[in-house]
Amino acid sequence: MTKDDSSPSDRITVRRMPDRASYDPDTVASILDEGLLAHVGLVAAEGPVVIPMIYGRDDQTLYLHGSPASRLLREGRDTQLCVTVSILDGLVVARSLMHHSMNYRSVVLMGRASLVEDFDEKSRALDLISDHVIPGRVAGTRPHLEKEVKGTLVLSMPLNEASSKVRTGQPIDDDEDYSLDTWAGVLPLGIAVGEPIPDPLLKDGISTPEHITQWSR
Amino acid sequence: MTKDDSSPSDRITVRRMPDRASYDPDTVASILDEGLLAHVGLVAAEGPVVIPMIYGRDDQTLYLHGSPASRLLREGRDTQLCVTVSILDGLVVARSLMHHSMNYRSVVLMGRASLVEDFDEKSRALDLISDHVIPGRVAGTRPHLEKEVKGTLVLSMPLNEASSKVRTGQPIDDDEDYSLDTWAGVLPLGIAVGEPIPDPLLKDGISTPEHITQWSR
């Protein structure tokens, strides 16, 4: 970005419902930290491609990873990416179909992804991605082997061109519809966590660790 | 597509983990019907843009809608779009960080979106989108006003260039890691539904309808 950090770039500026937008780095970070899946868009030879991926964050850097055979990672290095993370918090049920909405938190990040080549940064980025999905998992798992780190592609993206958007609360209906006998309100949604299913090939006597039994989002 | 319907186009063919891929229209339709959010990618002047949107399906057509002021809908008509829908079914916890994965179902749809101009098709598409998010909601809400239909943009996309990808089951670890004392298994995830929160402006005596109290995904 050529602009100073306090003002969003033109392309990242939210135009629809700008009152729901924020460019505050802490808000962006908190949404990224709670999200699980990023939808990553790039321009391939055949047109736009959007792929679900996991990710990790280190301060003002986002990391993506994948196999060297992945189309996105092959084409995505040194290419403009758009990384969108959406968290659905509820269905907003209005008195007219037109005013139905969703309560959500989302981040849109634009920028150029760079290939991470330094072994230590790569290894650390892979840990950050694992601990982003399951906090505490890295400490509960053997260290990476050198060949595993070398056999994985890692991309980094700066978080300096990101917008967040948040909707909360009840529906906003047209004035004349408030007299209708139609139910309106919010149906809260979140992530349901089931009972952990141990791998049938698990050795005897291994109990389920707390970072699994206590996992929540 | 110039190819016959039984063979996927080159650009939609899944290259990573092709054994997880299917081009079966019924599989694609069932994933689209269960998903809630689509992440829609297009190529804008400033690069790739990915926006979360809701959608509806009618047989082999996907509908998107939004305000005439929406950037995506403004730029997305007569443009190539990539529409990706992902459902997260669980975290796959392996004995090495490298083999951690997710159980998921996803659809990637590519194609050109067309503006729906016919009033009746538009009105029907808006109903399909509403009933996709909350089945039964259309019957419980007043009909669209003419100005509401006219004031909304609706895009349609054929479903003939779509791939689905599904992962289920336990982690696949490297042979030598099965002897580790590391827990492995699956943590099932789904959508948690909270208690409906009535709008404080609701008229007295309106009970919460079954399509809200029974909503699930």
CA torsion through residues B5, B11, B15, B17, sign: negative
* pLDDT category of residue B11 using cuts at 50, 70 and 90: confident
Residue B71 predicted with pLDDT over 90 = no
CA torsion through residues A126, A128, A132, A137, sign: positive
What per-residue confidence (pLDDT) applies to A77? 65
| pLDDT tens digits, one per residue of B149-194 | 999 999 999 999 999 999 999 999 999 999 999 999 999 999 999 9
Kindly report the nearest CA distance between residue B211 and chain A, in angstroms: 11
Q: What's the alpha-carbon Rg for chain A, to the nearest Å?
A: 21
DSSP string, B33-72: HH---EEEEEEETTEEEEEEE-EEEETTEEEEEE-TT-HH
What per-residue confidence (pLDDT) applies to A2? 37
| 8 A C-beta contact, residue A71 and residue A53 | no
Q: Considering only CA atoms, which of A129, A163, A165, A116 is closest in space to residue A1?
A: A163
Mean pLDDT of chain B, nearest integer: 92
User: Is A207 within the bounds of a domain?
Assistant: no
The domain tally of chain B equals 1
User: Is B5 within the bounds of a domain?
Assistant: no
Give every CB contact of residue B43 below 8 A, 6+ residues apart in sequence.
Answer: A43, A47, A48, B49, B79, B80
Which candidate in A67, A157, A183 is best for mutational testing of the B interface (most B CBs within 10 A)? A183
Pairwise CA distance, residues B75 & B155, whole Å: 11
Q: Look at A88-97, B14-23, B30-39, B150-159 and tell me which has the smallest mean pLDDT.
A: B14-23
User: Is B6 within the bounds of a domain?
Assistant: no
Angle at alpha carbon of residue B154, lines to B148 and B157, rounded to 5°? 160
| pLDDT tens digits, one per residue of A152-187 | 999 999 999 999 999 999 999 999 999 999 999 999
User: Is B105 within the bounds of a domain?
Assistant: yes
Q: Per 3-state DSSP, what percentage of chain A is helix, strand, and coil (rounded to 5)?
A: 25, 35, 40
Give every CB contact of residue A68 below 8 A, 6+ residues apart in sequence.
Answer: A74, A151, A152, A153
Cβ neighbourhood burial of B59 (10 Å; 0-12, 13-18, 19+): exposed
As for the ipTM of the complex, it is: 0.94
Q: Give the mean model confidence (pLDDT) for residues B89-118.
A: 96
Nearest residue on chain B to A213, alpha-carbon basis = B187
Residue A4 predicted with pLDDT over 60 = no
What per-residue confidence (pLDDT) applies to B6? 62
Residue A148 predicted with pLDDT over 70 = yes
Whether B41 and chain A come into contact, CB under 8 Å, resolves to yes
Whether B119 and chain A come into contact, CB under 8 Å, resolves to no
Residue A72 predicted with pLDDT over 90 = no
What domain range is B90 assigned to?
Answer: 18-172+189-213
What is the distance between the terminal CA atoms of chain A, rounded to a whole angstrom? 33
AA identity, residue A27: T
What is the distance between the terminal CA atoms of chain B, rounded to a whole angstrom? 32
| 8 A C-beta contact, residue B49 and residue B125 | no
Helix (H) or strand (E) segment spanning residue B129? helix B119-133
Nearest residue, CB atoms, B144 vs list A97, A193, A207: A97
- Could you tell me the CA-to-CA distances from A54 to A39, B15, B87, B121, B186 in Å, in that order? 9, 18, 13, 38, 17
Beta-ladder partners of B83: B40, B109
Q: Give the mean model confidence (pLDDT) for residues A25-36.
A: 97
User: Is A7 within the bounds of a domain?
Assistant: no
* pLDDT category of residue B73 using cuts at 50, 70 and 90: low
Whether B18 and chain A come into contact, CB under 8 Å, resolves to no
Residue B5 predicted with pLDDT over 60 = no
Helix (H) or strand (E) segment spanning residue A91? strand A80-93
| pLDDT tens digits, one per residue of A88-121 | 999 999 999 999 999 999 999 999 999 999 999 9
Looking up residue A73, the CATH number of its domain turns out to be: 2.30.110.10
Whether B146 and chain A come into contact, CB under 8 Å, resolves to no
| 8 A C-beta contact, residue A211 and residue A134 | yes
Give every CB contact of residue A59 below 8 A, 6+ residues apart in sequence.
Answer: none
Whether A14 and chain B come into contact, CB under 8 Å, resolves to no
Kindly report the nearest CA distance between residue B71 and chain A, in angstroms: 8
User: Is B3 within the bounds of a domain?
Assistant: no
Pairwise CA distance, residues A194 & B57, whole Å: 29
Beta strands in chain A (DSSP E): 21-22, 38-44, 47-53, 55-58, 61-66, 80-93, 101-112, 114-115, 153-158, 162-167, 185-193, 197-198
| 8 A C-beta contact, residue A54 and residue B108 | no
What per-residue confidence (pLDDT) applies to B74? 67
Residue A46 predicted with pLDDT over 90 = no
Kindly determine whether residue B37 and residue A170, on different chains, have CB atoms separated by under 8 Å.
no
Beta-ladder partners of B93: B185
Kindly report the nearest CA distance between residue A174 and chain B, in angstroms: 11
* pLDDT category of residue A66 using cuts at 50, 70 and 90: confident
What per-residue confidence (pLDDT) applies to B1? 37
Nearest residue, CB atoms, A142 vs list B180, B188, B195: B180
Kindly report the nearest CA distance between residue A211 and chain B, in angstroms: 11
* pLDDT category of residue A74 using cuts at 50, 70 and 90: low
| 8 A C-beta contact, residue B64 and residue B114 | no
Pairwise CA distance, residues A52 & B108, whole Å: 10
User: Is B12 within the bounds of a domain?
Assistant: no
Residue B213 predicted with pLDDT over 50 = yes
Pairwise CA distance, residues B141 & B126, whole Å: 13
Residue A76 predicted with pLDDT over 70 = no
Whether A76 and chain B come into contact, CB under 8 Å, resolves to no
Pairwise CA distance, residues A71 & A80, whole Å: 14
User: Is B197 within the bounds of a domain?
Assistant: yes
Residue B58 predicted with pLDDT over 70 = yes
| 8 A C-beta contact, residue B202 and residue A179 | no
Q: Give the mean model confidence (pLDDT) for residues A138-151.
A: 96
Residue A23 CB: number of other CB atoms within 10 A? 19
